[in-house]
Amino acid sequence: MTSTIFHLDLDSFFVSVERILEPSLKGKPVIVGADPEQGRGVVAACSYEAREYGLHSAMPIKEAYRLCPNGIYLPGHHKEYVRFSRAVKRLLERHTPQIEQASVDEFYMDFTGLQRIYGSMFELAKKLQREVKEQLSLPSSIGIGSNKTIAKIGSDYAKPEGITYVLPGMEKEFLAPLPVETIPGVGKVMKRKLTERGFYFIADVANTPEDYFAAAFGKYGLDLWRKANGEGSRFLNPRGVQKSISKEHTYGKDEIDLSKIETTLFELTAHVCQNLRNLNLQASTVSVKLRYSDFVTVTREQKIKPTDDDKEIYKTALSLLGKAYSRRVSIRLIGVKVSKFTEYAEQFTLFDEKAAARKRLLRTITKIRDKFGFAAIRFGGFK
């Protein structure tokens, strides 16, 4: 049986929520992200009115302000974004239990074999879109396809508030004229590598032998070729897949004092570990990212024994910082990330009371922070 996968993408989600909170923002160029007066950070989201000036997500806020000085710049209300996202998911769950939330504003749904119940899939998409708009005041776009890749590309194809239904068997024809960067996962670097080799459109990739991409790009190349040929995953993970937890800080003024950088890393690690424990996870890989003032970015990674302990993760992060900070150039951004998760399990032994006490302490601290705020209790240094 051919799968029927929906991908619902909330259009300019952060901006849409801001307009619900403040209706006077409708029709105006709105930018959610960093403070333009500081000139640091990036655009998290922008309205379609702002995009007419050339703005887009992830653009440096300084460049955005130069292009659109009369825009309305907002820091964002992240708790509200989460609240509305949960409301959207509850609404969609009325129609199917098979939902995978890919991000705060993206949802996959599996309607395979349900045509007899719902009839036209296109009409069902219109109904979902209408309910989200009428009940939550959020605009959305929907893609329908035989797999997740096609559905996701389809939801982007007719934004804003569009519906794209790629009929089974028409995947390659639909993809052929689209630029290579349309394929999920193709960023600026990969786009440049592809165009340097003469691959400008998805058809260029699809019509080239699979072996070429395997040799040129390895496993990633095979995945790219398959996506270009209309292939993709048909299976949803209703629980979602938490692949990593990260926290970054961009300095208001480039920093060169190592002790201050280490203090920032200490704070970031504490936030990451708090999230780990809230999700009942342990991490076995730690990564540190540095971005120098000249925008050169360095990342270092190390495997560790699975843990959620601030002390162990910070010790590893500090070692990675020493390896990454190899230039006497000031730092613009620092970040820490943990990944490769396993679920936490209570495994106290009779002969390791010290470890058991440490685990109880960490969970008590987590509960206090959850109730009274992160700043309610802090660790001392771990050096």
The letter for the amino acid at 251 is Y
* Whole-Å CA distances, 307 to 270, 271, 280, 303: 13, 15, 11, 11
Distance between CA atoms of 317 and 324, rounded to whole angstroms? Answer: 10
Length, in residues, of the chain: 383
Say if residues 31 and 55 touch (Cβ distance below 8 Å).
Answer: yes
The residue among 194, 185, 191 whose CA lies nearest residue 213 is: 194
Say if residues 255 and 262 touch (Cβ distance below 8 Å).
Answer: no
Say if residues 201 and 176 touch (Cβ distance below 8 Å).
Answer: yes
Question: Is residue 328 packed enough to be buried (19+ CB in 10 Å), middle (13-18) or exposed (0-12)?
Answer: exposed
Active site annotation includes 37: no
Tokens representing 187 are 């960023």
The one catalytic residue among 63, 80, 106, 255: 106
Quickly count: other Cβ atoms within 10 Å of residue 220's Cβ. Answer: 14
CA dihedral 303, 304, 310, 312 (to 10 degrees): -130
Say if residues 102 and 92 touch (Cβ distance below 8 Å).
Answer: no
Name the residues annotated as catalytic. 106
